[in-house]
């Protein structure tokens, strides 16, 4: 499994935009991977077709984050249990809504999908 490790970009206050291309091997975004990236505005994971886990706090306190583009299909489950795949089902097709869900509403949950 290829992942963005926990705390990988934590405190990168000048990081503004991330566009990842040809990332078919990315499966996991670790705990607090982008925590306190206060200038981060946009992330594009559209080509990360095998992305299946976004860990809690991955985008915590990313106050400028307005858009997170996730790969199709857009059905993600949220759960507070690392070992569970199923929880509340969410439609993650709206990049602006995704940013709100991942930074505020469900910040302390795992987001999972069957890639």
pLDDT value at 91 more than 90: yes
- Domain 2-112 matching CATH 3.80.10: the answer reads yes
How does residue 1 score in pLDDT terms, banded at 50, 70 and 90?
A: low
Extents of the domains making up the chain: 2-112
| Mean pLDDT estimate for the chain | 93
DSSP letters for the chain: -EEE-TTTTTT-TT--EEE--S-TTEEEE-TTTTTT-TT--EEE-TT-TT--EE-TTTTTT-TT--EEE-PSS-EEEEES-TT---SEEEE---HHHHHHIIIIITTTSEEE---
How does residue 82 score in pLDDT terms, banded at 50, 70 and 90?
A: confident
């Amino acid at each position: 499994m290829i992942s963005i490790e926990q705390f990988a970009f934590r405190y990168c206050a000048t990081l503004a935009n991330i566009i990842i291309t040809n990332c078919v091997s990315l499966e996991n975004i670790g705990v607090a991977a982008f925590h306190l990236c206060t200038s981060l505005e946009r992330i594009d994971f559209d080509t990360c077709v095998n992305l299946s886990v976004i860990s809690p706090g991955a985008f915590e306190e990313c106050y400028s984050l307005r858009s997170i583009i996730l790969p199709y299909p857009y059905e993600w489950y949220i759960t507070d249990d690392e070992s569970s795949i199923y929880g509340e089902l969410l439609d993650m097709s709206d990049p602006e809504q995704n940013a709100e869900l991942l930074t505020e509403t469900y910040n302390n949950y795992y987001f999972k999908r069957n890639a």
